Amino acid sequence: MDRSSLRPPLRPLVGVTACLKENGRGGWHHTVGDKYVRAAIQAVAALPVLIPAVGPEFGEDAAAMTEALDRLLDSLDGVLLTGSPSNVEPYHYGGEQSRQGTAHDPARDATTLPLIRHALDRGVPLFAICRGLQEVNVALGGTLHQLVHEVEGRRDHRSPKSSDIDVNYGPAHDIEIVEGGLLHRLLGERRVQVNSLHAQGVDRLAPRARLEAVAEDGQVEAFSVPDAPGFALALQWHPEHRALENPVSKKLFDAFAAACRSRAASRLVPPMRAAAE
């Protein structure tokens, strides 16, 4: 018997982006919400790898940053861009200065924006959630509304701020899915219900992005990047919450997982064998 056939499949390595936050004691923490780690483990069947917010360490040395990102991405089978309470700093997209008290994370911006461009160009599967969607849009030349609820005609997309997490992440509104797009192919539906926990949102969609879904008020809820060599999908809502219990979330994570497994398999083919084939 070939005992190798009895081994469980190797878990793909999925990079999970982190935020940099003060710990209240004069220090800083690179943090990732447990729900994203659990989604990577349970819904993607992956081994999550923390990507710390280290962009500022490279300063203006673009070559060093490029080398570091390329080495990192060579070792990963996918990238999961997480949500966060912080806003992308508006100077990255030519926006007006934020209001006083707005949460920002410049270290994360300096890490994720170049990471996104490199991951897309190298065909590394990319799944972006909430702030992650906003980062992808900015990284590719799009712009953002800092306060969607103050835009004429838009609803309040912020969460209820309940002490019950299931209330905060509960269904909030329908989205209309673009016919024939990636999201439509993955879900097989034109309308689904999603949660909503964001103040910032897409204003002008990036040139490389393809619209995949909008809310009933016209706010962008999903887009893909068709010219990327690999899987690339960005969602404004939070599918990671109870991902295995939600049929829509499960289909989306299944698609990302399949792309990650495919990359893992191609990375593990010995170079000489690959050349022979």
CA 113 to centroid of chain Cα atoms = 11
The catalytically annotated residue of 19, 198, 240, 260 is 240
* Residues 226/128, Cβ–Cβ less than 8 Å: no
* Residues 147/199, Cβ–Cβ less than 8 Å: yes
Whether 260 is catalytic = no
The catalytically annotated residue of 89, 238, 241, 260 is 238
Cα distance between residue 148 and residue 78, in whole Å: 30
Whether 221 is catalytic = no
11 forms beta bridges with none
Whether 19 is catalytic = no
* Residues 200/160, Cβ–Cβ less than 8 Å: no
The catalytically annotated residue of 19, 89, 130, 212 is 130
Catalytic residues: 130, 238, 240
